[in-house]
Amino acid sequence: MNVVVTGGAGFIGSALIWKLNREGVNNILVVDALGTGDKWKNLVGLRFQDAMHKDAFLQSIREDTLSFHPDAIVHLGACSATTERDADYLLENNYRYTRTLAEWCVQHGTRFVYASSAATYGDGSDGFSDSDLVTPKLSPLNMYGYSKHLFDLHALDSGYFDRIAGLKFFNVFGPNEYHKDGMISMVLRSFQQIQETGAVRLFRSDKPEYPDGGQKRDFVYVKDCVDVLWWLINTPSASGLFNLGTGQARTWVDLACAVFQAMGKPSSIQFIDIPELLKNKYQYFTQADMGKLRLAGYSAEFLTLEEAVHDYVTNYLSKNRAHLGTA
């Protein structure tokens, strides 16, 4: 099997390569923009055939000169910063790039799996159903979510969901996220805060129906995510747009307590105000409706928040193992 993984040095992309290697797949083309940062470290210990800059890859797709003949392209590369304000950049990098790859895969009969986002659901007032009837009604809160939503709409209008698969990732955490700076998960941030101060800082609630730290998210472990991606690569009949979470919303307090427990330390939580920049864009509740993916045939169980945090903290963070490939 030959697989292209865009965003292959990123968080979920490098975790997928780790999964592919564990399944005996090494004929992998890594597509990314490594730059001068430390993202390359996510590739250490992993096996792949070649690496290619994302711009060169896009050009080869447009000119149909790709020398690596993929059975599947898993498109995980994107700007994932929810605070990014450059709309032109997001349209080009997140929407048009995805559209070009999808069109090429449909024309060549290549399996295409891409990353959408739970950010497409906006404030959640329209629920979290991945039904094709609901998708056109969604209103993302930020430009990142909108850039993802635009391709979901394009795929729906073009009839691509008969042949491709998209995943609306909810709150993913786990090894290989270390390069993400301000976008790291709250699990990693909590671990760092506990090490530095002995306490975790969480946002106060501005809504009376939610206590401080009682805001809820659907937290999903990256190892569970790559299991789903592997299944989709090998199950072309499972096409469409799917949620990817656990289907169980948990509070930020639950998450913090799970980190304290995994570190063997007593819980100590401090509450701070939500920054003004986030107040009108903050989601108080997310929970993936997982019925569509289950109906498509995915039957594996997801780890609980406590199980996943325990694995992450005890087998990686506490042992200073930064990457799946070297653990």
Place of tokens 């980190």: 259
Q: Report the C-alpha gap between 19 and 34 in whole angstroms.
A: 21
CA distances from 102 to 53, 97, 163, 205, 225 (A): 18, 9, 10, 41, 21
Tell me the C-alpha distance between 224 and 277, whole Å: 32
CB 32 within 8 A of CB 77: yes
Strand, helix or coil for residue 188: helix
In order, the DSSP letters of 262-319 are HHT----EEEEPPPHHHHTT--SB-----HHHHHHT--PPPPPHHHHHHHHIIIIITT
CA distances from 113 to 4, 76, 165, 179 (A): 10, 8, 5, 24
Closest CA to 256 of 315, 181, 203: 203
The catalytic residues are 144, 180
Give CA–CA dist 327/316, Å, rounded.
7
